[in-house]
Amino acid sequence: MSPTRKAQDLAEAVGREMYRRDRTSQYLGIALEEIRPGYARMRLRVGEEMVNGHGMCHGGFIFTLADSAFAYSCNSHNHNAVASGCTIEFLAPAHVGDVLTAVAEERALAGRSGIYDIDIANQDGKRIAVFRGKSHRIQGETVKTQGE
């Protein structure tokens, strides 16, 4: 099996195992659509219970979707990693019924830290927010691997 194929299989195994334990995504209806080494794409439909005091989608759910895509992408190499800090810029509001997609891509790795950029767009391709996450690698791995 090629190294590339092996890395892809590992990323998919990590994605399945993380999602199995990931109560938040199941609770909010966040779907993992694709995972690759250093990459994840997730989707959320904005429900009526996700509205804030101004009648728009609460920024917390947009953040949660982006933060989830960040988590899957930075764990895709099967080295456990957690968020140390994040920034989000809100560009346009989201509304009930919108289907939001977050695409996470690895931008830099340095020692045990990583930088990931996440774009969030709605069903029309309009960009809703941009997110940047900084990860920190910790002990452990998500799936058991043999002879490695």
Distance CA 31, CA 50 (A): 16
The CA distance from 35 to 62, in Å, is 19
E strand or H helix at 83, and its extent?
Answer: strand 81-90
Task: Count other Cβ atoms within 10 Å, centred on residue 5.
Answer: 9
Cβ proximity to a second copy, 5 vs 30, nearer residue? 30
Q: Give the binding site for a second copy (CB under 8 A).
A: 17-19, 21-24, 26-27, 48-56, 58-61, 63-65, 67-68, 71-72, 75, 80, 82-93, 107-108, 110, 113, 115, 117, 127, 130, 132, 134, 142
**CB nearer a second copy, residue 2 or residue 87:** 87
CA 80 to chain CA centroid, nearest Å: 14
Shortest distance (Å) from residue 52 CB to a second copy = 6
Minimum distance from CB of 4 to a second copy (Å)? 23
